[in-house]
Amino acid sequence: MTIDWELVRLLALLLGVIMFVALNAAYLVWLERKEAGHIQRRIGPKEVGPYGLLQPVADGLKLMTKQLIVPEGADRLLFMAGPILVMVPAIMSFVTIPYSETLVARNLDVGLLAVFAFASVNVLGLLLGAWGSRNKYAVISAARVVSQNVAYEVPMLVVVVTMVMVTGTLNLQEIVTQQAGGFWHWNVFRLGVSPLMPVAFLIFFVCMLAETNRAPFDMAEAESELIAGAFTEYPGMGFGIFFMGEYANIVVGTSLATILFLGGWNSPFGLFFPGVHWFLIKMYALIFVVIWIRWTYPRTTFYALLNLSWKVLIPVSFFNLILTSAMLKVFHS
């Protein structure tokens, strides 16, 4: 009997991806609470384990031991499908994300497209779950989430199209390889191609925050107005999976930002050889910023949120697109 090593490799990496997602989702909650604590000059979790490190385990056990109640009159199928539709695409996105030259489950030629295709299912999961739970708050939240995601997908994809024009490929590994050698080769600093590159990075980052429903754009949850928005009716692990999906989406978003703009696994000064550690350092630095932003700004109003997208981000990203294509045509063709 011969062993199909490619299959073994794929299985190992898929298992690794799932474990990576679960571990990140669990410990980002810990990081979030610690960081929130210190920003408010508190300590954060400290009772369960040293530095509260076992807190996610305790939280997970608590959520798992709770009964899964489907509210009366709710659409059982959609209600159950909601959390799964949020979690599965988030895990699927990891399949094509290259963490180093060799550490990638499946290097697709259309990797970037695949990630965005999966990312757009997230909003569907929230919408179906909220609609299925037969709750007014959840439905209001779902309506907000959809219009928010539609509004922010436009500037995000325009920025991504710009990046694809610059790099000339949809292959994520290829995009990172092009940025090798020093931080001035990273896309965010390639001012010769477009002087607005840092602005493009900023737009991408803001849109990523909005796409993952993070504060200050957390209209989906909006606890002060909508109880827990789309998650209102979800008990125990149903809510837990939504929560994990949210954090998994943050990891996907920051990974993409790292790959597209910050040179992926390349080291900034040629120090300490390129590798997965550089990728993780950049990714977690971005995640730190995401959490930092959450504990700095209050939630925006819904109109301010849409205004920001349609009146600022979309015009600027289109201007960047036109400028970049003009500069590519004039200087680099």
Q: Please identify, using beta-carbon distances, which residue of 234 and 261 lies nearer to other proteins.
A: 261
Q: Please identify, using beta-carbon distances, which residue of 37 and 235 lies nearer to other proteins.
A: 37
d(CA 28, CA 25): 5
Residues 46-105 that bind other proteins (CB under 8 A): 46
- Residue carrying the six token digits 């959609």: 78
Q: Please identify, using beta-carbon distances, which residue of 41 and 136 lies nearer to other proteins.
A: 41
Binding-residue total with other proteins (CB under 8 A): 15
Residues 2-41 that bind other proteins (CB under 8 A): 35, 37-41
Q: How far is the CB of 223 from other proteins (least distance, A)?
A: 20
Q: How far is the CB of 316 from other proteins (least distance, A)?
A: 8
Q: How far is the CB of 124 from other proteins (least distance, A)?
A: 31
Residues 191-250 that bind other proteins (CB under 8 A): none
Q: Please identify, using beta-carbon distances, which residue of 92 and 206 lies nearer to other proteins.
A: 206
Q: How far is the CB of 246 from other proteins (least distance, A)?
A: 21
Q: Please identify, using beta-carbon distances, which residue of 38 and 76 lies nearer to other proteins.
A: 38
Q: Please identify, using beta-carbon distances, which residue of 38 and 62 lies nearer to other proteins.
A: 38
Q: In terms of Cα–Cα distance, which of 167, 4, 175, 14 is closest to 103?
A: 14
d(CA 187, CA 229): 37
Q: How far is the CB of 38 from other proteins (least distance, A)?
A: 5
Q: How far is the CB of 149 from other proteins (least distance, A)?
A: 22
Q: How far is the CB of 42 from other proteins (least distance, A)?
A: 5
Q: Please identify, using beta-carbon distances, which residue of 40 and 333 lies nearer to other proteins.
A: 40
| Interface pick for other proteins out of 43, 61, 77, 322 (rule CB under 8 A) | 43
Q: Report residue 293 as tokens.
A: 């932003």
Q: Please identify, using beta-carbon distances, which residue of 176 and 321 lies nearer to other proteins.
A: 321
Q: How far is the CB of 74 from other proteins (least distance, A)?
A: 39
Residues 256-315 that bind other proteins (CB under 8 A): 292-293, 295-297, 312
Binding residues (CB under 8 A) for other proteins: these are 35, 37-43, 46, 292-293, 295-297, 312
